[in-house]
Amino acid sequence: MVKKHEMQKYLDKAEVLIEALPYIQRFNRKIIVVKYGGSAMVDDELKEQVIKDVTLLKLVGFKPIIVHGGGKEISRWVGKVGMEPKFINGLRVTDDDTMELVEMVLGKVNKNLVQLVESLGVRAIGVSGKDGGLLKVQKKLADGEDIGYVGEVTEVNSEILNDLLEKDFLPIVCPIGMDDEFNTYNINADDAACVIAKAMGAEKLAFLTDIEGVYKDPEDPETLISELHVREAKELMSSGFIGGGMLPKLNNCIEAIESGVSRVHILDGRIPHCLLLEFFTNRGIGTAILDDENTKFYKGE
Amino acid sequence: MVKKHEMQKYLDKAEVLIEALPYIQRFNRKIIVVKYGGSAMVDDELKEQVIKDVTLLKLVGFKPIIVHGGGKEISRWVGKVGMEPKFINGLRVTDDDTMELVEMVLGKVNKNLVQLVESLGVRAIGVSGKDGGLLKVQKKLADGEDIGYVGEVTEVNSEILNDLLEKDFLPIVCPIGMDDEFNTYNINADDAACVIAKAMGAEKLAFLTDIEGVYKDPEDPETLISELHVREAKELMSSGFIGGGMLPKLNNCIEAIESGVSRVHILDGRIPHCLLLEFFTNRGIGTAILDDENTKFYKGE
Amino acid sequence: MVKKHEMQKYLDKAEVLIEALPYIQRFNRKIIVVKYGGSAMVDDELKEQVIKDVTLLKLVGFKPIIVHGGGKEISRWVGKVGMEPKFINGLRVTDDDTMELVEMVLGKVNKNLVQLVESLGVRAIGVSGKDGGLLKVQKKLADGEDIGYVGEVTEVNSEILNDLLEKDFLPIVCPIGMDDEFNTYNINADDAACVIAKAMGAEKLAFLTDIEGVYKDPEDPETLISELHVREAKELMSSGFIGGGMLPKLNNCIEAIESGVSRVHILDGRIPHCLLLEFFTNRGIGTAILDDENTKFYKGE
Amino acid sequence: MVKKHEMQKYLDKAEVLIEALPYIQRFNRKIIVVKYGGSAMVDDELKEQVIKDVTLLKLVGFKPIIVHGGGKEISRWVGKVGMEPKFINGLRVTDDDTMELVEMVLGKVNKNLVQLVESLGVRAIGVSGKDGGLLKVQKKLADGEDIGYVGEVTEVNSEILNDLLEKDFLPIVCPIGMDDEFNTYNINADDAACVIAKAMGAEKLAFLTDIEGVYKDPEDPETLISELHVREAKELMSSGFIGGGMLPKLNNCIEAIESGVSRVHILDGRIPHCLLLEFFTNRGIGTAILDDENTKFYKGE
Amino acid sequence: MVKKHEMQKYLDKAEVLIEALPYIQRFNRKIIVVKYGGSAMVDDELKEQVIKDVTLLKLVGFKPIIVHGGGKEISRWVGKVGMEPKFINGLRVTDDDTMELVEMVLGKVNKNLVQLVESLGVRAIGVSGKDGGLLKVQKKLADGEDIGYVGEVTEVNSEILNDLLEKDFLPIVCPIGMDDEFNTYNINADDAACVIAKAMGAEKLAFLTDIEGVYKDPEDPETLISELHVREAKELMSSGFIGGGMLPKLNNCIEAIESGVSRVHILDGRIPHCLLLEFFTNRGIGTAILDDENTKFYKGE
Amino acid sequence: MVKKHEMQKYLDKAEVLIEALPYIQRFNRKIIVVKYGGSAMVDDELKEQVIKDVTLLKLVGFKPIIVHGGGKEISRWVGKVGMEPKFINGLRVTDDDTMELVEMVLGKVNKNLVQLVESLGVRAIGVSGKDGGLLKVQKKLADGEDIGYVGEVTEVNSEILNDLLEKDFLPIVCPIGMDDEFNTYNINADDAACVIAKAMGAEKLAFLTDIEGVYKDPEDPETLISELHVREAKELMSSGFIGGGMLPKLNNCIEAIESGVSRVHILDGRIPHCLLLEFFTNRGIGTAILDDENTKFYKGE
């Protein structure tokens, strides 16, 4: 026999599940690309929460794809191996040795994520952009300078991801690609997530970041923007207010939206379970970038 | 910007969803037969909760099948039409006219449930045991007396349900069957749920009832049994303590377990969201009947 | 040993079967919608013949779908229950109580047809427009007046019927639908048959009626029309000769033809096996409405 | 407007079609092997009737396979080419030249049948036992003598026929096979039909012959046997009454039944539409050989 | 232990296989139509080599289709049977008797090829243009004269070949077709190969001929052309240099290229393994006809 | 125009391809597991040859799976990072840090192989035993001592490999696994190849090694054994002649054979194209271990 107040606690739980119903329905069999990086990848507790969130998305019928970076772990290993950083015109160069190490570290991070998902009983597979020729790249110059094996994606061979989704895997992608001569290149993870979302016709693209979202005025925390239409985003970018790190991210967001992704989110990865909150509650997390016309179905609308 | 305490509320919600993860995994693509009847069918709020629960089970990847009765609504219509009840040796007889009315009422109840599920965005289909020859019956005598069109199931043609599940329908079954001459018979809904669970190889069979569960001593509410092994259930039945209404239900439970259904539950349908509580929390609701050996995975074990 | 004249009888039979060959070929795997109603539904012998005919169509490889009404049975039950008919401006109103009863009666009629088909060894399933959200409706006003739950179809979700045909069921549809708020509505069976034929891309739509066909002059039985091109049908309708009951039916026929149904037939359901005669012999039954250009393959052409 | 007596004629036709219903159901998707030979292959009118019959069987959902001989046409060509018949111990020898001609004639007959079926709008394909390695043979000695390329089937590679049936072809097989060294052999068409029926798990095997059936006493036409159980057939064979030509045929029948073919028929191919009469009416044609236990469903039983 | 020089022999073999790799890749799952005729069909050793070549193409993942003639064998049989050739205006006429014999001979040739392929362990099936209605023809007049059953293809029913390829058969086609009245016609094998290549969207069409290829000047063996663009072929044809036999062949080549076949080859069938040499080495055999723009991937380009 | 002797060269090439025909047939759609390691992995030219060989096997219809080690590269990195080797009772210990580095190096090697295969135009995917839970392990003790994260495989989840083969990938597996707590373990690559071959029902398992094969007397190169039956292998192992490194390898061979792998080969990876030689020529490479009864089809038998 349970006490009244205890009973209430259970009923509250049931209520939470029931509240999730329309969201579960909305994203049923939809592809969701999650760019995973930043603090959420360093802090072990946050990491576990993100993975649990994505696993839950998979189990309730969504089709999530994780694209991850590996920034801090790469730095740690560069130090550990005692590599000499090289620079051209002040830009860090990804030479052969660096590329080799980056691929090793990203590979390790990749399999570690596979491990976490598998431990939750969901079928994961880790691939890099080499597998099945997923990501074709060309050398990316920085201000006209050759800074080594840094690539920009020219083609996404989405067939491999479709095959893996069809076989019910949760694909975890590390941002490595090959050029036409099959050399290895490093790719910015935000860019990789963006092109994959576009190529897969994703319903949603979510960036886990270390910021609360986009601000009208980065100096003023009160100016956090909840929803940003593409048109407004472009204005904001040309306003000069937006800081350096945010500019390419916003660019990615706009590009994704304009290629047919329904909604792009810049989430604060430092908030526990930010993905679940974003998908299953009416709590606005971070900034949603959306099509100028797209105003249907979503919370608050 | 959200306040701290408000934030906590959202995190609590995320926690509830995460707690559901192992259960969602456990019953993924498993067939769940829910016998739906009693108060949970009369009270509109409870009805909506049950349907929401089942719909959620469907959306997160389970394969629920609802088998429903229609007791009180039948009584209401018998009165409304002004039918003369007939009796043989004190037993109520289901003659042609009664059978016709029963089928009409059950049909209406059936489509009403379809309507509720559809309104939640899930694909439902209502069938009776006539459709696709689902339930073959023979006349059931009561103490050797012919009491009319009351049938017991001799064969379940599970192909139709498998076809509907394969096409991603939520099947809702009303307990009507046909004999070898294709006459219409009424079937006890508990019995129908039991034979369907057996024929479909269900993972779980849940009876929504108007009692809290099975008691060691029905007079003493403190003696509610949480888990009852088949062996114990048989002892209890022969003890004489178990009341009339519970005996056939326990028999159904035992039969289902012995035919391979992993677990059978007698739930208190008067508790809101009792199905969700049963499936997604570690709150024990009602009485679980289980195989003498089956002790793995479940809560509290 | 058989006698000569007896032998001839058998050979004649074989000849009949052979004559059916081109028709069987012509409609192989084609969808045929049969609107079933009128006398053919009241007379038990006619009923059995219609069901046998449709079952044969199914067995020889066609894909029939039955859409049925329930007119007289509804009237019988309205009387039985002692309902007070309500009127607005002289029009009969389908209020809540009436709608409830109509749904019950149509449901019973539906399962009775399932029963007959099943008794002939063919797999049938009875659905209403609620199942799988088959028929979406909006309220239909009569001369601007709200006469209750009378709906006109705004959308046919043909996926459910395709799924059932794929699983080799013979679908039997009762003309009930739901509006956007998931309220129950009654639909004119002729209209339902017409929109389903259109949505399913039916090859043929056949109305079983209580008339011999369309007459140039309803007063003169000699003026029965065998074939009516859409253009002629429109002229006839504007001629003022066509009676009230026939006008909406002809409208449905024209609409179906103009949406791609190859041929629409108004058959005399009082003639035994009128469907077989129409499909398998060169005997013209009733009136065929056809495309202005469509003149190939058919008998007499 | 049709006259009364004319109407009756049409209704009689409908009745014939309806009578076919249980038979169409009974053999739905069942494999039927028809050994086609004798007069029914020489007389052009009979030929057309047989092909129409088989085509109808195909169209109403059966899966017929034709195995044909070519006796008289072979004799005609042997004469035409002016071949010298060779004999060993009085037995006709199939030497290289004869085998070459036999294959050519059977090939022509085969494509001629394809042509007839195609002209009726049904998809046919003609194969010999060489295609897909359908019939593996070994040399068959006659009384210990080597009489050339006469083979007995050692293995049926039924996969090719299953593939063709799956693609909805009507396969027409000519009785040529290859031995382990891939030499060409002639096969008795009755034998070929029998082994194919066995290997394909046919429901029925029908031999079109030039006799009325099996007689108890071949001298007395009154002693034609309608149904012959395997046990009785064996007794008959050992009775000495059965003539030379019938013995191997009866042997084939018994072998087929004992390998699981439900029923074997010796039909009189000289009766027009004998196949249709056999399948669709209760007119007993020729002799049915059946399992000692198999007594259910069939006419007269 | 192997000796050095012996080892080298094996390594050379491996090298040959490795050289085949890009070609195997290039034609993976591509349809290749081989017109088989001429000396390569008369000489037993060449015949075996051609069949081995095609079988290898099949085994390494290509989808070859053989279309064969039967010229010399037909002449042999015309003589053997002692047929009187008929002429109209000096043109040989294919009357009923000739057509019958031609079909018989081609049928025999067809099954003989099946036999050879089967003996190499690959699944073959021989069809004529009658099977599945593969080749629909109309009478072809020669200079306005009716010369009997000589047909030109009006329609290729490619479904049958696709079905057979899907079931992993190697189809072998003999050039016989039917007109709208289902009469039998002989078809020029080159023409048949060409229309089949077009209808199947073949990647390559190869003619095995008895010439070395196309010459600029047929008198001068030094003027053999390796690659001929469509434009050049047309010029050559209008130049008057090209001899009678070559003109229709070149026409077929041009037609095939212009219908989307990537490359057409006129090969010298008298060279052993000419198909393998063409497909797997950089040795130019005969003449390749190619699209004016198509210049990528191939050897020498 | 080609010269005679040049022509001969091409014909020899064709002959080599034709010789491959029976082998291509024999292994069509068969699973081949290749353990890749040793010199063949260090020498760049050998590496390219092995990858070309495996790619060719894939292209001609086999289903190869590569399982690779990474020995020397691991040593190189252990040195580079300046790790302190740890020992227990003289045994090298795989502690956390070592395991991390091993996984990184193996991951890099894995993707490098993917890269090579992709550059040859074949679809590859690199997985570790973590992906899809492919390899479940438990800690392996060495003489009772815990030497860290060294695992032995307890379960192969072959579903993931079957899924990838079905999608036409060439899977490349690195020998990392997880225990029940999802910790990372290193696995001996020979062992991994062996258990995978067993679980996948491989037709052949080939070990690329740095030895010529198994010797009766390792001191005497003349005693190289070409074929070794399981019985003989066991005798040899108990003879004491077999050296330390060979013992576990022979054990793996025997285990694989006894689990149903048809043939196991110990190949000399230092011979260029040793895989092709083994598969496509009658040149015996290294030592074949085979079932005591298995003596059919193979060369030399």
Q: Which residues contact E68 (CB under 8 A, 6 or more apart)?
A: E35, E36, E37, E41, E106, E109, E110, E113, E172, E173, E174, E175, E189
Average pLDDT over every residue of E98-114: 97
Q: Apex CA B49: angle with CA B44 and CA B52, to 5°?
A: 125
What CATH number is given for F28-290 in this structure? 3.40.1160.10
Is the pLDDT at D275 greater than 90? The verdict is yes
Could you give the residue ranges of the DSSP H alpha helices within F152-210? Answer: 159-166, 189-199
Of the candidates D286, D295, D284, the one whose C-alpha atom is nearest the C-alpha of residue D231 is D295
pLDDT recorded at residue E299: 38
Q: Apex CA D213: angle with CA D210 and CA D219, to 5°?
A: 95
Our CA-based measurement puts residue F126 at a distance from the nearest CA of chain A, in whole angstroms, of 6
pLDDT recorded at residue D242: 78
Q: Of the ranges C167-171, D41-45, D168-172, F293-297, which one carries the lowest mean pLDDT score? A: F293-297
Is the pLDDT at D25 greater than 70? The verdict is yes
Average pLDDT over every residue of C60-84: 91
Is the pLDDT at E298 greater than 60? The verdict is no
Chain E residues contacting D, CB < 8 Å?
80-81, 100, 103-105, 107-108, 110-111, 114-116, 118-119, 123-128, 130-133, 160, 163, 166-167, 169, 176, 178, 182, 184
Chain C residues contacting B, CB < 8 Å?
80-81, 100, 103-105, 107-108, 110-111, 114-116, 118-119, 123-128, 130-133, 160, 163, 166-167, 169, 176, 178, 182, 184
Using a CB-CB cut-off of 8 Å, the residues of chain F touching A110 are: 107
Chain D residues contacting E, CB < 8 Å?
80-81, 100, 103-105, 107-108, 110-111, 114-116, 118-119, 123-128, 130-133, 160, 163, 166-167, 169, 176, 178, 182, 184
* Domain positions in chain C: 28-202, 207-301
Of the candidates F260, F263, F197, the one whose C-alpha atom is nearest the C-alpha of residue F31 is F197
pLDDT recorded at residue B3: 61
pLDDT bin (cut points 50, 70, 90) of residue F191 is very high
Q: What percent of chain A has pLDDT over 70?
A: 95
| ipTM score assigned to the predicted complex | 0.92
Our CA-based measurement puts residue B163 at a distance from the nearest CA of chain A, in whole angstroms, of 21
Over chain C, what is the mean pLDDT? 89
Average pLDDT over every residue of E105-117: 97
C28-202 and C207-301: identical CATH topology: yes
Selected for mutation to probe chain A from F97, F128, F130, F164 (highest A CB count within 10 Å) is F130
Is the pLDDT at D284 greater than 50? The verdict is yes
Q: How many CB pairs under 8 A join D and E?
A: 98
Of the candidates A61, A74, A71, the one whose C-alpha atom is nearest the C-alpha of residue A32 is A61
Using a CB-CB cut-off of 8 Å, the residues of chain E touching D105 are: 104
- Phi, psi for residue D169 in degrees, rounded to 5: -85, 155
Counting CB pairs under 8 A, whether chains F and A reach 3 or more, is yes
Over chain F, what is the mean pLDDT? 89
Chain D residues contacting C, CB < 8 Å?
1-2, 7, 10-22, 24-25, 28, 49, 52-53, 55-56, 59-61, 120-122, 221-222, 224, 271-273, 276-277, 280-281, 283
Using a CB-CB cut-off of 8 Å, the residues of chain C touching B128 are: 111, 114, 126
Q: What is the pLDDT of residues D188-243, one digit of tens each?
A: 999 999 999 999 999 999 999 988 889 888 788 888 898 999 999 999 888 877 77
Two tokens, residue B280: 């997604």
The annotated binding site of E for substrate is made up of 70-71, 92, 186
Of the candidates C180, A100, D115, B257, the one whose C-alpha atom is nearest the C-alpha of residue E178 is D115
Token look-up 């009491």 returns: B147
Average pLDDT over every residue of A121-133: 97
pLDDT recorded at residue D1: 46
Using a CB-CB cut-off of 8 Å, the residues of chain D touching C13 are: 16, 19, 276-277, 280-281
Please state, in angstroms and rounded to a whole number, the distance separating the CA atoms of residues F158 and B193. 37
Q: Are B66 and B170 in contact (CB under 8 A)?
A: yes
pLDDT bin (cut points 50, 70, 90) of residue B173 is very high
Our CA-based measurement puts residue E77 at a distance from the nearest CA of chain F, in whole angstroms, of 34
pLDDT bin (cut points 50, 70, 90) of residue D294 is low
pLDDT recorded at residue D301: 31
Q: Are E59 and F25 in contact (CB under 8 A)?
A: yes
pLDDT bin (cut points 50, 70, 90) of residue F144 is confident
Q: Of the ranges D195-204, E153-162, F136-145, which one carries the lowest mean pLDDT score? A: F136-145
Q: What is the pLDDT of residues E120-146, one digit of tens each?
A: 999 999 999 999 999 999 999 988 889
pLDDT bin (cut points 50, 70, 90) of residue D296 is very low
Using a CB-CB cut-off of 8 Å, the residues of chain F touching E273 are: 11, 14-15, 17-18
Q: What is the pLDDT of residues C103-160, one digit of tens each?
A: 999 999 999 999 999 999 999 999 999 999 999 999 999 888 899 999 999 999 999 9
Q: At the topology level of CATH, where does D29-134+159-177+188-290 sit?
A: Carbamate kinase (3.40.1160)
pLDDT bin (cut points 50, 70, 90) of residue E294 is low
Q: Of the ranges A108-122, D100-114, F258-272, which one carries the lowest mean pLDDT score? A: F258-272
Q: What percent of chain E has pLDDT over 90?
A: 62
Using a CB-CB cut-off of 8 Å, the residues of chain D touching E127 are: 125-126
Over chain B, what is the mean pLDDT? 89
The number of beta carbons lying within 10 Å of the beta carbon of residue B258 is 11
Distances (CA, A) of D144 to B244, D85, D132, D136, D148: 81, 20, 31, 21, 12
CATH label, B30-38+63-189, candidates 3.30.530.20, 3.40.1160.10, 2.60.40.10, 3.40.190.80: 3.40.1160.10
C186 is in an annotated binding site: yes
Q: What is the pLDDT of residues B178-235, one digit of tens each?
A: 999 999 999 999 999 999 999 999 999 999 998 888 988 878 888 889 899 999 999 9
Selected for mutation to probe chain F from E59, E224, E270, E285 (highest F CB count within 10 Å) is E59
Selected for mutation to probe chain D from C4, C9, C12, C16 (highest D CB count within 10 Å) is C16
Could you give the residue ranges of the DSSP H alpha helices within chain A? Answer: 4-26, 39-42, 44-59, 71-81, 96-119, 159-166, 189-199, 230-239, 246-258, 274-280
- Phi, psi for residue C297 in degrees, rounded to 5: 70, -35
Residue C108: which of B104, B124, B167 has the nearest Cβ?
B104
Using a CB-CB cut-off of 8 Å, the residues of chain D touching E125 are: 127, 131-132, 160
| E122–F276 C-beta distance less than 8 A | no
Average pLDDT over every residue of E272-297: 79
Q: At the topology level of CATH, where does C207-301 sit?
A: Carbamate kinase (3.40.1160)
Q: How many CB pairs under 8 A join A and B?
A: 116
Tell whether pTM > 0.95: no
Is the pLDDT at F79 greater than 70? The verdict is yes
Q: What is the pLDDT of residues F34-48, one digit of tens each?
A: 999 988 898 999 999
Give residue E151's identity as a one-letter amino acid code.
G
Q: What is the pLDDT of residues A40-81, one digit of tens each?
A: 898 999 999 999 999 999 999 999 999 999 878 998 998 888
Give residue C265's identity as a one-letter amino acid code.
H
Q: What percent of chain E has pLDDT over 70?
A: 95
Selected for mutation to probe chain F from A78, A99, A102, A104 (highest F CB count within 10 Å) is A104
Q: Are E194 and E252 in contact (CB under 8 A)?
A: yes
Determine the residue of chain C that is closest to D62 in CA distance: C60
Two tokens, residue C269: 């359901």
pLDDT recorded at residue B153: 97
Residue B127: which of C108, C118, C125 has the nearest Cβ?
C125
Q: Of the ranges B145-149, C132-136, D141-145, E197-201, which one carries the lowest mean pLDDT score? A: D141-145
Token look-up 């550990």 returns: A80
Q: What is the pLDDT of residues F241-275, one digit of tens each?
A: 777 678 888 999 999 999 889 999 999 999 999 99
What CATH number is given for B203-301 in this structure? 3.40.1160.10
pLDDT bin (cut points 50, 70, 90) of residue A300 is very low
Q: What is the pLDDT of residues C150-177, one digit of tens each?
A: 999 999 999 999 999 999 999 999 999 9
Is the pLDDT at C25 greater than 80? The verdict is yes
CA atoms within 13 A on the CB side of F261: 29
For chain E, how far is it from start to end, CA to CA, in angstroms? 43
Q: Of the ranges A7-16, A166-175, E103-112, F119-128, which one carries the lowest mean pLDDT score? A: A7-16
Q: What percent of chain D has pLDDT over 70?
A: 95
Using a CB-CB cut-off of 8 Å, the residues of chain A touching F83 are: none
Name subunits touching D (3+ CB pairs < 8 A).
C, E
pLDDT recorded at residue F3: 61
pLDDT recorded at residue A247: 86
pLDDT bin (cut points 50, 70, 90) of residue E3 is low
3-state SS track over chain C: CCCHHHHHHHHHHHHHHHHHHHHHHHCCCCEEEEEECCHHHHCHHHHHHHHHHHHHHHHCCCEEEEEECCHHHHHHHHHHHCCCCCEECCEECECHHHHHHHHHHHHHHHHHHHHHHHHCCCCEEEEECCHHHCEEEEEEEECCEEEEEEEEEEEECCHHHHHHHHCCCEEEEECEEECCCCCEEECCHHHHHHHHHHHCCCCEEEEEECCCCCECCCCCHHHECCEEEHHHHHHHHHHCCCCCCHHHHHHHHHHHHHCCCCEEEEEECCCCCHHHHHHHCCCCCCEEEECCCCCCCCCCC
Determine the residue of chain E that is closest to D177 in CA distance: E115
Secondary structure (DSSP) of F213-258: --BSSTT-GGGB-SEEEHHHHHHHHHHT-S-TTHHHHHHHHHHHHH
The top-level CATH class assigned to C28-202 is: alpha beta
Is the pLDDT at E44 greater than 70? The verdict is yes
| A224–B24 C-beta distance less than 8 A | no
Is the pLDDT at B1 greater than 50? The verdict is no
Distance of CA F219 to the CA centre of its chain: 25
DSSP-based three-state secondary structure for A30: coil
Q: Which residues contact F88 (CB under 8 A, 6 or more apart)?
A: F145, F146, F147
